[in-house]
């Protein structure tokens, strides 16, 4: 198939739920993706913060091939060695005691919401309300959509699941003010991802933790986007000096093989037999892949590498800001955003034509979530392309919309 064939078939046969760039890839290697016409691109989207090890990493390829030749799936009617091993790895490397496996970030958050509701009723009280933050993103299922406080995602699908209350992010006083006798949990992203890469202030999560302790609430952190080394530590909560009760993971966990996880401390482990389940959740293939990803992340010290490479990339982006070509750099590690003076879309198109893949987290902000294995030379290449594109856009603002600040 040529790219044109793929685009025509996509238009004819698929529901048009995605705005897709006019590219189809044949394969990848490391930080590079190759399209069907043989052009190569630096992948600074990383499958939206998924491809932690890049493309075709030998450890992940070998784990998938070996497991595929043994067995793919057996169901959770039986014990699964790979699932037990991955559960132990996650417990050994985090503050949590128990794990439930599913297939995506939304499913992990669904599980967290169900767990919180069950936990809130364990003592005869009827507590079910979860406090979330404005501009949050927790998924698009009917449960998680109600926790995703962005009108553009919610409005077409009302009525929403009840039981969610929203407060301004990073506002120390808002959560106490929103807490009632029905409140059971606070659910937050340590860095709000989909709404623009906005980190929680250092003192914010600490004060939320203290409030949760004082009022016997669960602190749920959604690390679907920030987890598995991306922000410079294995999990972002580690940088805030807090221990949550519940954490959700997906994206980077499987390095491209779909898998999600709910992690809980013993105190929060409220789900029992029959309370929740998933046919595919934690199947041997997904767990073998995630184990290979997890072990590689630790063996190759990828969180530390992400911190160093993130600092390098952030410095280069800041230089673009200093040249008046962009407004602001945000984020941690290899989860960064560059806010532009104008629209992101033409910049994204121009970067792609020059061989760099980035996407928009806001209409005027680019996101950078390259594989954690990215090297300085690749960052230099990406920055050179971006610099050229932004400079060209600044010289013809009607096209690129980028207006120098000075």
Where along the sequence are the contacts to ligand PLP (CB under 6 A)? 104-106, 109, 137-139, 189, 193-194, 222, 224-225, 250
Question: What's the min distance (Å) between Cβ of 225 and ligand PLP?
Answer: 4
- Angle at CA of residue 53, ends 48 and 58, nearest 5°: 140
Among candidate residues 100, 137, 235, 368, the one labeled active-site is: 137
Residue (101 or 137) nearer to ligand PLP, CB: 137
Residue (193 or 229) nearer to ligand PLP, CB: 193
Among candidate residues 43, 96, 101, 251, the one labeled active-site is: 251
Known active-site residue 396: no
Q: Which residues pair with 368 in a beta bridge?
A: 336
Residue (51 or 109) nearer to ligand PLP, CB: 109
Could you tell me where the beta strands, DSSP code E, fall in 92-205? 98-102, 129-133, 164-167, 183-188, 191-192, 198-199
Known active-site residue 251: yes
CA distance 217 to 247: 14
- Angle at CA of residue 65, ends 33 and 232, nearest 5°: 55
Residue (54 or 139) nearer to ligand PLP, CB: 139
Question: What's the min distance (Å) between Cβ of 262 and ligand PLP?
Answer: 12
Question: What's the min distance (Å) between Cβ of 12 and ligand PLP?
Answer: 25
Among candidate residues 96, 164, 222, 368, the one labeled active-site is: 222
CA distance 57 to 53: 6
Question: What's the min distance (Å) between Cβ of 236 and ligand PLP?
Answer: 10
Short-list 325, 341, 335, CA closest to 392 = 325
Note the maximum CA span of the chain: 66
335 CB contacts (<8 Å, ≥6 apart)?
A: 49, 191, 193, 197, 225, 226, 230, 231, 310, 367, 368, 369
For helices 302-322 and 376-395, what crossing angle results, to 10°? Answer: 20
Cα separation values, 28 from 32, 98, 238, 375, 390, Å: 6, 35, 32, 16, 27
Residue (197 or 325) nearer to ligand PLP, CB: 197
Beta-carbon count within 10 A of 124 CB: 5
Short-list 374, 283, 363, 241, CA closest to 101 = 283
Question: What's the min distance (Å) between Cβ of 68 and ligand PLP?
Answer: 22
CA distance 244 to 237: 8
Task: Output phi, psi for 359, to 5 deg.
Answer: -130, 175
Residue (194 or 245) nearer to ligand PLP, CB: 194
Q: Indicate the residue whose CB is closest to ligand PLP.
A: 105
Question: What's the min distance (Å) between Cβ of 137 and ligand PLP?
Answer: 5
Known active-site residue 222: yes
Structural tokens at position 175: 């959560």
Residue (129 or 222) nearer to ligand PLP, CB: 222
Question: What's the min distance (Å) between Cβ of 75 and ligand PLP?
Answer: 22
Residue (117 or 230) nearer to ligand PLP, CB: 230
Question: What's the min distance (Å) between Cβ of 18 and ligand PLP?
Answer: 12
For CA atoms 18, 24, 30, 31, give the dihedral sign. Answer: negative
CA distance 74 to 71: 8
* DSSP 8-state class, residue 252: G
Active site residues: 137, 222, 251
């Amino acid at each position: 198939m040529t790219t044109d064939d793929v685009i025509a078939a996509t238009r004819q046969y698929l529901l048009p739920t995605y705005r897709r760039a006019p590219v189809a890839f044949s394969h990848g290697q490391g930080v590079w993706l190759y399209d069907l016409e043989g052009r190569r691109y630096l992948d600074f989207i990383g499958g939206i913060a998924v491809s932690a090890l890049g493309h075709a990493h030998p450890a992940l390829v070998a784990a998938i091939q070996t497991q595929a030749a043994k067995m793919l799936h057996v169901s959770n009617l039986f014990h699964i060695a790979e699932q037990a091993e991955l559960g132990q790895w996650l417990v050994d490397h985090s503050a949590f005691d128990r794990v439930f496996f599913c297939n995506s970030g939304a499913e992990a958050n669904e599980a967290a919401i169900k767990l919180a509701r069950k936990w809130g009723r364990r003592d005869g009280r009827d507590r079910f309300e979860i406090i979330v933050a404005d501009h949050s993103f927790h998924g698009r299922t009917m449960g998680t959509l109600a926790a995703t406080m962005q009108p553009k995602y919610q409005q077409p699908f009302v009525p929403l699941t009840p039981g969610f209350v929203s407060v301004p992010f990073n506002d120390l006083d808002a959560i106490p003010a929103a807490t009632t006798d029905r409140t059971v949990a606070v659910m937050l992203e340590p860095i709000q991802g989909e709404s623009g890469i906005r980190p929680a202030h250092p003192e914010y999560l600490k004060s939320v933790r203290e409030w949760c302790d004082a009022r016997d609430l669960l602190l749920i952190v959604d690390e679907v986007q920030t987890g598995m080394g991306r922000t410079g530590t294995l999990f972002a909560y580690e940088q805030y000096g807090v221990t949550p009760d519940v954490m959700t993971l997906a994206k980077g966990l499987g390095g491209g093989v779909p898998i999600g996880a709910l992690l809980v401390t013993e105190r929060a482990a409220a789900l029992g037999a029959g309370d929740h389940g998933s046919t595919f959740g934690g199947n041997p293939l997904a767990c073998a892949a995630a184990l290979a990803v997890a072990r590689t992340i630790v063996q190759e010290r990828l969180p530390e590498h992400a911190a160093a490479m993130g600092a390098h990339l952030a410095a280069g982006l800041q230089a673009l800001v200093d040249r008046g070509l962009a407004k602001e750099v945000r984020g941690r590690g290899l989860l960064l955003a560059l806010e532009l003076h104008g629209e992101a879309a033409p910049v994204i198109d121009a970067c792609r034509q020059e061989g760099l893949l980035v996407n928009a987290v806001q209409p005027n902000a680019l996101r950078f979530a390259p594989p954690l294995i990215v090297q300085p030379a690749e960052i230099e290449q990406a920055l050179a392309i971006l610099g050229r594109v932004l400079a060209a856009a600044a010289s013809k603002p009607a096209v690129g919309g980028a207006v120098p600040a000075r």
